[in-house]
């Protein structure tokens, strides 16, 4: 007889027979948490803080609106890099070293073409994007040149992530981490110099952030490419990026492997763009409130991001051994740990939220709205936390397409129409803001319900046994 959901959860988190110990799981989670904070979240927060010191709500709001677009493009680039990891890693695992060099060459040129297309399209469509957003004239005036400059760096983002994908396929994660640390440090230094015009550098304000980002990724591309080409350990791969043309068979394979992950990641990233569009007509103060609440919520969300990475490889290993009870218990234990950690960050950020928000709002123009929304959005973050960890478990069990289909269905069948309807209501602004923003997390809650039902049935096991992706 199947146990109730709560009973099953309690039994899972207290079971010491199946699954990893809490000590082991924490040893996996904390390094991932530190990496997520230091390598990804911190540079964005510092950049936002620098821009906020210019005491312009429109500049701060423009940065936030543009970052949602760059987040979307970066997720597509990451998805393409997943294909590079798989293709190069499989050939390396077979000791087909000559083919490893060929896969790198093909991945390099495919990524160059795709990155160039995205960079050109974004540069060309910058004005149309901000028009579609429905922003105020002040944001339009600074946003278009800013996005065009950021578009120049898109090419380097695609190329860098593809090169990192190759390194990961060679089981080399240490080098990519060092390169990113160097690049992030350079970005923060140049960001400060270009934004404020310090030490004789030109004062570029918002545009300086874009220039610093372009330089960062261009440098990281050069470092990664130089390392790969000159590393003596990689000579066995006979790497020659300019020999003949790339083979279309490898290109098709790369796109086919990246496709499902790309759709999955792009769907969630596009949801943030749509959410930004629904909030933009409320004015620069509203979009600035969205940006600061989102950044704070992202910090509260860090335990979920780290835990999702951990649960994926734990479940994949358990499924590979046929340890279904261990897979479920590990999922429940990771959820429990992530919930405790997220609750701690929630208390931290809601203890004195006015002080935190004021760091990004020198004029106090959007602090009142952000203060109304932050406690509610902070609680709703837990709904997103659950769905993300459950999605990670399903991916680890080989149910990748399930995650993709669920996200597509709920995003376009629920979130988009509901948020549009709510945005049209003639109600008090803070209430509308919370309802529109909250509809995103309610959609994620629906995803979580679907994932729970999937994991409580035997269908996820059948997909795993079939090797479904």
User: How much is the average pLDDT of 406-421?
Assistant: 94
H helix and E strand count, the chain: 19, 0
195-199, 221-225, 358-362: least confidently modelled range:
358-362
Q: Which of 417, 452, 462 is nearest to 436 (CA)?
A: 417
Please, which contacts does 138-141 make with residues 24 or more away whose CB atoms are closer than 8 Å? 138/58, 138/284, 139/58, 139/61, 139/62, 139/65, 139/284, 139/287
> Above 90 in pLDDT, residue 32?
no
> Above 90 in pLDDT, residue 36?
no
Backbone angles phi, psi at 376, to 5 degrees: -70, -45
CB 158 within 8 A of CB 118: yes
Q: What is the DSSP string of 314-382?
A: HHHHHHHTT-HHHHHHHHHHHHHHHHHHHHHHHHHHHHSHHHHHHTT-SS-SSHHHHHHHHHHHHHHHH
User: How much is the average pLDDT of 115-122?
Assistant: 94
* Displacement of CA 76 from its chain's centroid (Å): 10
Q: What is the DSSP string of 179-243?
A: HHHHHHHHHHHHHHHHHHTGGG----THHHHHHHHHHHHHHHHHHHHHHHHH-GGGGGG---TTS
Q: What is the DSSP string of 104-150?
A: HHHHHHHHHHHHHHHHHHHHHTHHHHHHHHT--HHHHHHHHHHHHHH
User: Tokens 């006015």 — which residue?
Assistant: 354
Residue 464 and residue 317: Cα distance in Å, rounded?
12
Q: What is the pLDDT of residues 75-117, one digit of tens each?
A: 888 888 777 776 776 666 667 677 777 777 777 888 888 899 9
Q: What is the DSSP string of 8-56?
A: HHHHHHH-SSSS--HHHHHHHHHHHHHHIIIIIIHHHHHHHHHHHTT--
pLDDT at 63: 92
- Mean per-residue pLDDT of the chain: 84
Q: How far is CA 433 from CA 5, 135, 428, 442, in A?
A: 33, 16, 9, 14
pLDDT band at 237 (very low <50, low <70, confident <90, very high): confident
User: Tokens 């110990």 — which residue?
Assistant: 21
pLDDT at 2: 60
- Tell me if residue 246 falls in helix, strand or coil: coil
Backbone angles phi, psi at 301, to 5 degrees: -85, -10
> Above 90 in pLDDT, residue 34?
no
Q: How far is CA 396 from CA 210, 291, 365, 389, in A?
A: 36, 32, 45, 11
pLDDT band at 469 (very low <50, low <70, confident <90, very high): very low
pTM summary value:
0.84
Residue 151 and residue 157: Cα distance in Å, rounded?
10
pLDDT band at 278 (very low <50, low <70, confident <90, very high): very high
pLDDT at 93: 66
> Above 90 in pLDDT, residue 135?
no
**271 burial level (CB within 10 Å; 0-12, 13-18, 19+):** buried
User: Tokens 């640390």 — which residue?
Assistant: 181
pLDDT band at 437 (very low <50, low <70, confident <90, very high): very high
């Amino acid at each position: 007889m199947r146990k109730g959901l709560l009973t099953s959860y309690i039994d899972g988190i207290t079971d010491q027979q199946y699954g990893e110990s809490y000590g082991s799981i924490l040893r996996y989670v904390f390094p991932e948490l530190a990496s997520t904070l230091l390598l990804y979240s911190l540079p964005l927060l510092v950049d936002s803080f620098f821009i906020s010191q210019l005491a312009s709500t429109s500049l701060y709001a423009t940065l936030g609106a543009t970052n949602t677009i760059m987040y979307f493009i970066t997720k597509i680039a990451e998805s393409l890099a997943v294909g590079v990891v798989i293709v190069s890693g499989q050939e390396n695992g077979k000791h087909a070293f000559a083919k490893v060099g060929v896969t790198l060459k093909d991945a390099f040129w495919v990524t160059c073409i795709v990155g160039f297309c995205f960079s050109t399209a974004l540069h060309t469509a910058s004005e149309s994007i901000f028009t579609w957003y429905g922003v105020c004239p002040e944001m339009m005036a600074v946003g278009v040149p800013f996005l065009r400059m950021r578009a120049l760096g898109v090419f380097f983002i695609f190329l860098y992530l593809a090169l990192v994908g190759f390194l990961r396929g060679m089981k080399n994660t240490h080098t990519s981490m060092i390169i990113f640390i160097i690049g992030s440090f350079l970005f923060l230094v140049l960001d400060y110099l270009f934004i404020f015009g310090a030490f004789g550098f030109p004062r570029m304000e918002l545009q300086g952030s874009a220039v610093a980002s372009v330089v960062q990724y261009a440098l990281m591309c050069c470092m990664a490419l130089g390392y790969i080409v000159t590393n003596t350990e990689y000579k066995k791969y006979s790497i020659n990026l300019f020999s003949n043309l790339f083979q279309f068979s490898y290109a098709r394979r790369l796109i086919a492997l990246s496709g499902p992950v790309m759709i999955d990641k792009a769907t969630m990233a596009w949801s943030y763009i749509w959410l930004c569009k629904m909030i933009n007509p409320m004015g620069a103060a509203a979009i600035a409130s969205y940006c600061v609440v989102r950044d704070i919520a992202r910090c509260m969300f860090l335990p979920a991001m780290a835990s999702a990475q951990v649960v994926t490889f734990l479940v994949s290993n358990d499924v590979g051994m046929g340890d279904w009870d261990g897979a479920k218990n590990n999922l429940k234990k990771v959820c429990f740990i992530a919930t405790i950690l997220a609750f701690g960050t929630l208390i931290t950020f809601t203890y004195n939220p006015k002080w935190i928000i004021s760091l990004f709002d020198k004029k106090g123009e959007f602090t009142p709205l952000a203060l109304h929304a932050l406690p509610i959005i902070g609680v709703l973050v837990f709904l997103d936390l659950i769905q993300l960890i459950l999605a990670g478990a399903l991916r680890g069990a080989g149910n990748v397409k399930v995650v993709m289909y669920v996200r597509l269905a709920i995003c376009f069948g629920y979130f988009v129409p509901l948020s549009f309807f709510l945005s049209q209501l003639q109600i008090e602004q803070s209430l509308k803001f919370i309802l529109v923003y909250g509809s995103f997390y309610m959609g994620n809650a629906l995803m979580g319900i679907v994932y729970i039902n999937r994991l409580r049935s035997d269908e996820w096991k059948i997909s795993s046994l079939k090797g479904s992706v």
